[in-house]
Amino acid sequence: MDMEKLRQGLRKLTENRNSIKLLAVIMIIITAFLFYGMKEKNDTITVSEGFPAAKEDAGERKSSSEGILYVDVGGAVARPGVYKMNSGDRVFEAIEKAGGLTKKADTSALNQAEEVKDGQKIQIPEKGETAGAPGTGTAENSLSASVSAPGDKININTADSTALQQISGVGPATAQKIIDYRTQNGPFKRIEDLKNVSGIGEKTFEKMKENITI
């Protein structure tokens, strides 16, 4: 066999092997790039805050015991809907999540500093509407303040200052103390808890108890 031809054949074989190795390295790099690129994309989750909570998973339905609350904000706000809140959040924060108040909103009877409660309905009336009128709804906070309870009793958990002053023995100062107390301590569990408010003793309570409810 011609030695020169043998050398040329070995040289071409070596070159082919080097080309195959180079091609294999390139394929490995491309495969690794595609694999890790897709994995990073799949592992990325975008969470939007401040929009209505349309769905809940099974764990979130136990929210009240875990510090997560859901409130329904309606009426004169930019984006009415159900919003996820944290325990200790205030009414004004729920309003902010709903896009804020509209120009027609009437906040005269609204206690924006009150803590929200799980399942609460916060209905913001428009100017010219009266609390509890058709279309305005009611809430567990002071929005439904002027609505009298059955039998014309005043609900001490929802009444605003004006409504509270309809109770015998309650003036502007005492009405504000009642509002401040429930804001700091939550709603009254029973009417007798009203005696925990500064300035309301046994005698004063006796005059009030026939006109109040919770």
Higher per-residue confidence, 24 vs 191:
191
- What is the C-alpha separation between 178 and 199, in angstroms, rounded? 10
Tokens of 14: 């070596």
61, part of any domain: yes
Do both 127 and 165 map to the same domain?
A: no
Taking a C-beta distance cutoff of 8 angstroms, is the pair 163, 150 a contact?
no
81 and 150 assigned to the same domain: no
Residues 6 or more apart whose Cβ sits within 8 Å of residue 133: 125
**Domain shared by 160 and 121, yes or no:** no
Of 163, 117, 128, 127, nearest to 144 by C-alpha is: 163
Task: Work out how many domains the chain is built from and give that number.
Answer: 2
CATH number for 105: 3.10.20
Structural domain including 183 reads 145-214
Burial state string for 52-82 with b = 16 or more CB within 10 A and e = fewer than 16:
ebeeeeeeeeebeeeebbbbbbbbbbeebbb
Q: How confident is the model at residue 73 (pLDDT cuts 50, 70, 90)?
A: very high
* Segment 102-114 mean pLDDT: 88
What are the angstrom distances between the C-alpha of 181 and each of 107, 164, 194, 204? 20, 13, 9, 17
Reported as a single tens digit per residue, the pLDDT across 118-153 is 888 898 998 876 544 333 334 444 444 333 434 578
Q: What are phi and psi of 169, to 5 degrees?
A: 85, 0
Task: Looking at the structure, tell me whether residues 68 and 102 fall in a common domain.
Answer: yes
Say if 99 falls within a structural domain. yes
CATH number of the domain to which 187 belongs:
1.10.150.320
